[in-house]
A and B are shown apart, each in its own frame.
With several copies, the nearest count.
Chain A
Amino acid sequence: MKMNVSLPGLDLKNPIMPASGCFGFGKEYSEFYDLSKLGAICVKAVSPLMKRGNPTPRVAETPGGMLNAIGLQNPGLESVMENELPWLERFDVPIIVNIAGNTIEEYMDVARVVSKAPNVKAVELNISCPNVKEGGIAFGTDPYIAKELTARVKDVCHVPVYVKLSPNVTDIVTIAKAVEEGGADGLSMINTLLGMRLDLKTGKPILANETGGLSGSAIKPVAVRMIYTVSQQVSIPIIGMGGVTNADDALELILAGASAVAVGTQNFVDPFACPTIIEELEEKLKDYHVDHIGELTGRSWRPSLQPLTTR
């Protein structure tokens, strides 16, 4: 029981979960392993109506990472309620529904409904998607709107609300504090960095959407610094993400201040990424002077008299 983590709404067997958009609604990965092994599952963004997303190409590779411009394609609230969430009930794992909307009302509509599904234990407001024209990132760069959105969703949502922050801001602490004031139960950070690649033969952007969201190892140092900074300024827990490929990366985000860790891009590289990280993490914990993984959260800045490792 060294690995379990208790967060608002979420009783996690372990702190590892797939990140939104990198795991669909679980079906594909259920063909590789038992999803009940996971701490939680954060599903793809859900919008009120079905969304077609952006034209292809939607991904491009970059040094140590990748760009995506999926554009929040999803089957829409109704289909998710009817097909995806009930299907996931066969697993003993809490579900976090990532929500995207063009207006505050759309976020509220989805939250109101999905939060009634029995296995949905929390929602995550995606106010940071760089790949859609409306909503998305706009909500994540203005602290007033972010706070307002959080508060309004809190009013209608039956489960705790996590807000997913964008790294593409001058001052992430202000946004984080704003959503905390708005009543957020937790934060998820970070979403992708805005980036772009050009095709040297045509001179044009590789992505049909021109710009995309940068994820993968390349962004880990940005995630670490943002989690480190924000976790010292808020008192709600943080689900950390950004460039986690192995147990060491997960530990780095936890030491920086995350209470749980989501794995995104690495699922594409290795479909077994999450269960592998869970196993390795449990093994690695033996090197640390702790009875429980929760004691490592924020240890980079939390004063402590004990040395961290036994080595």
Chain B
Amino acid sequence: MKKVEAMTVVSQRTIANNIYECSLKGDLVSVMNEPGQFVHLKVTDGIEPTLRRPISICSVDTNERTFTMVYRVEGIGTKKLSHKLPGERVNVLGPLGHGFPMEELKSESHCLLVGGGIGVPPLYELAKQLTSKGHSVTAVLGFRSKEDVFYEREFSRLGPTFVATEDGSYGEMGFVTDVIGAKQLTGDCYYACGPRPMLKAIESNMPIPGFLSLEERMGCGIGACLACVCDMKNEAGYRKVCSDGPVFKAGEVVV
């Protein structure tokens, strides 16, 4: 049976402009094994805010029974989350959804990881697992501006890492797709997570197979409320981002 757990905050810090990194400890970590899955968080008792908030799992430390999230403070939910201090509890439903599949990779594949903004975090656990399985990774991370950049160092440790900023204040100027084009980056497959326009551009430009992680406003997070559906490309049906995704094979759904 699935569970929810009041997990304990073990660390909380700012790592970029409005970007926080927070680690939680608890039993649910033992079942967090697919990179790209997310948790659905209740950041407060009571009704303000009412709904849970979906946040990706950024990295997992099974030994310590902790996992880490990286999130941007947007509105009331993420703001309240950012106020949680070590020792306080956060109610966690998860891990939810289907993550980035790695089973079908040939051994020693080379994977291109493309992340934009708060789409970067789930790629980090993916990068760790890919490299530990003997694959190699190249990361292309896009941000708005210099002060928004995070986790460049972490990714660099796992493979070549390129950073793009929209205003050119750090790394390459432009979008991730510009960098990919300019540096002619490629691989056996790609994994991408970020804003819709980025995913659209990647999907239509990349000649190699790939996987896209989608975002959608959610209610239940578990597939029951039908808030988060997206259309399939080639059939009449639909997919739920929360339970069928958030990761889909490029070409499967309408981005």
Contact = CB atoms under 8 A, between A and B. Distances in A.
Interface of A: 21-24, 27-29, 31-33, 44, 52-53, 56-61, 63-66, 68, 70, 73, 206, 216-218, 245, 265, 267-272
B1 A268 contact: no
Give the interface size bracket for B toward A: 20 to 34
Contacts of B226: 24, 44, 53, 58, 70, 73
B196 to A, nearest CB: 11
A245 B238 CA distance: 30
B99 to A, nearest CB: 18
B48 A268 contact: no
Contact of B243 (A28, A29, A217): A28
Nearest to A60: B217
A275 to B, nearest CB: 11
Interface centre among B1, B216, B218, B226, by most chain A C-beta atoms within 10 angstroms, is: B226
Interface centre among A53, A57, A245, A268, by most chain B C-beta atoms within 10 angstroms, is: A268
Contacts of B4: 270-272
B1 A32 contact: yes
B227 A23 contact: no
Contact of A23 (B50, B221, B224): B224
Contacts of A267: 220, 224
B106 interface: no
Contacts of B238: 52, 73
- 6 cross-chain pairs, A with B, having the tightest CB-CB distances, nearest first: A24-B224, A28-B224, A268-B220, A59-B227, A57-B217, A64-B47
A64 B50 CA distance: 6
Interface centre among B48, B217, B218, by most chain A C-beta atoms within 10 angstroms, is: B217
B47 A216 contact: yes
B110 interface: no
Contacts of B221: 268
Contacts of A271: 2, 4, 93, 220, 222
Give chain B's interface secondary structure class: loop
A29 B47 contact: no
Contact of B227 (A29, A70, A270): A70
Contacts of B227: 56-59, 68, 70
Interface of B: 1-4, 42, 47-52, 93, 216-230, 238, 243
B52 A33 contact: no
A70 B217 contact: no
A146 to B, nearest CB: 26
A86 B49 CA distance: 37
A117 B227 CA distance: 28
B215 to A, nearest CB: 11
A61 B49 contact: yes
A28 B219 contact: no
B1 A70 contact: no
Given A63-B48, A216-B50, A268-B52, A56 B223 contact: no
A28 B50 contact: no
Given A21-B225, A31-B2, A59-B227, A66 B220 contact: no
Contact of A65 (B3, B42, B50): B50
Contacts of B49: 61
Nearest to B242: A28
A269 B50 CA distance: 7
A60 B2 CA distance: 26
10 contacts: A28-B243, A31-B2, A57-B217, A73-B238, A217-B47, A265-B219, A268-B219, A268-B221, A268-B224, A269-B51
B222 A63 contact: no
